[in-house]
Amino acid sequence: MLTVEQVSRSFGSVVAVRDVSFSLPTGQTLGLLGPNGAGKTTTMRIVLGIYAPDRGTVRWAGAPIGAATRKRLGYLPEERGLYGRMRVHEQIVYFARLHGVGPADAAASARRWIAQLGIEEYANRPCSELSKGNQQKVQLACAAAHGPELLILDEPFSGLDPVNAQMVLGAIEGLRRTGTTLVLSSHQMWQIENSCDRFCIIADGAVRAAGTLAELRAGVPERVVRVAPNTAPTRAVLDRVGQFDAIIAGELHYRLPADSDFAVLLRDLVAVAPITHFEPIPPSLSAMYLRAIGSAEMEASIP
């Protein structure tokens, strides 16, 4: 279990993170979300022990993050780099060995990752000769080749084309299946919505929302319902219980309180018109993210 409790960290007069708390059971995946400058990277660095928090604690498997614990962690930073003159296989082996893996195991792991990421033909080439996408694959292999218990991936899809992004997503899914605990950040919500068990949305250095997708949804007071056809009687029924939102592709979109009785609503609609489509839509991760960030901005704008 990764436990982050009341963690704060400032740089001079700038408060980077403030009372950040979340927990992540072993083997689960956490999506750390937030706009640029929200404090995601600082939070990740604190979890990794790169920064010491001013206040609060970070524990992995019940123990504070120390030199021994760090060997069991893996990290793919947002800004990535490789030793240009070092060969691909050699580079992966080097990083695995820095984490305490023996020479033979490190070499075997490097071979496995090279095969999994489809870069066999580059295994003995200097990294500087690889394309950006392939370099990013090597970096992922460097972060994961030692078999970390907890792997932290900061924007793992940034700069990747759709094919390579899919391949990296496949590798992440593979790590999930083997029980690796993952913390990953991304701006591409659609890519991580189905890959994460839990989410933590950070803005202005503070946690705005945290929990499973269901828990996050439970915190949203509205639902959107899509109804077709767009007729006057239909609108009249909907206007009584909700607020008009939009008409998209001929379908009415209305916002209703989350605790609305949708079965009763459907019965009332059917009673006034022949309904061809009725669909209450659960809020997407993107919508919940924007809502959390938006409320933060609104709060910040109040003098």
Q: Kindly state the helix (H) or strand (E) to which residue 185 belongs, with its residue range.
A: strand 181-185
Shortest spacing between CB 37 and another protein, in angstroms: 14
Restricting to residues 129-158, name those near another protein by CB under 8 A. 142-143
The site string for another protein over 161-180 (x = CB under 8 A, - otherwise) reads: --------------------
Segment near another protein (CB under 8 A), from 68-76, 232-240, 267-275, 294-302? 68-76
- The reply to whether 235 sits near another protein by the rule CB under 8 A is no
Choose which of 1, 61, 98, 271 interacts with another protein (CB under 8 A). 98
Return the axis-axis angle of helices 232-241 and 262-272, rounded to nearest 10°. Answer: 150
- The Cα–Cα gap between 271 and 229 comes to 14
- The reply to whether 11 sits near another protein by the rule CB under 8 A is yes
Residue 290 has which token pair?
């924007």
- The reply to whether 83 sits near another protein by the rule CB under 8 A is yes
Return the axis-axis angle of helices 88-98 and 132-144, rounded to nearest 10°. Answer: 30
Omega before 162 within 30 of 0, i.e. cis = no
Length of the chain: 303
Choose which of 62, 81, 162, 303 interacts with another protein (CB under 8 A). 81
- The reply to whether 190 sits near another protein by the rule CB under 8 A is no
- The reply to whether 159 sits near another protein by the rule CB under 8 A is no
Shortest spacing between CB 149 and another protein, in angstroms: 14
Where do the H-state alpha helices sit in 178-261?
189-192, 213-218, 232-241
Shortest spacing between CB 160 and another protein, in angstroms: 17
- The Cα–Cα gap between 87 and 138 comes to 10
Q: Is 163 exposed, middle or buried (0-12, 13-18, 19+ CB in 10 A)?
A: exposed
Shortest spacing between CB 87 and another protein, in angstroms: 10
The single residue listed with the structure tokens 């933590």 is 200
Q: Which one, of 9, 95, 19, lies nearest residue 46 by Cα?
A: 9
Choose which of 94, 197, 241, 284 interacts with another protein (CB under 8 A). 94
- The reply to whether 70 sits near another protein by the rule CB under 8 A is yes
Residue 300 has which token pair?
């910040």
Shortest spacing between CB 137 and another protein, in angstroms: 15
Applying CB under 8 A, the site for another protein has a residue count of: 29
- The reply to whether 55 sits near another protein by the rule CB under 8 A is no
Choose which of 35, 49, 133, 280 interacts with another protein (CB under 8 A). 49
- The reply to whether 77 sits near another protein by the rule CB under 8 A is yes
Shortest spacing between CB 184 and another protein, in angstroms: 15
Residue 275 phi, psi dihedral angles, 5° rounding: -85, 125
Segment near another protein (CB under 8 A), from 63-71, 184-192, 222-230, 282-290? 63-71
Segment near another protein (CB under 8 A), from 69-77, 184-192, 237-245, 249-257? 69-77
- The Cα–Cα gap between 155 and 77 comes to 8
Choose which of 23, 35, 97, 272 interacts with another protein (CB under 8 A). 97
- The Cα–Cα gap between 173 and 180 comes to 10
**Nearest 5°: CA angle at 12, between 8 and 13?**
80
Q: Do residues 127 and 91 touch, judged by C-beta distance below 8 A?
A: yes
Residues that bind another protein (CB under 8 A): 10-12, 45, 48-50, 67, 70-71, 73, 75-77, 79-86, 94-95, 97-99, 142-143
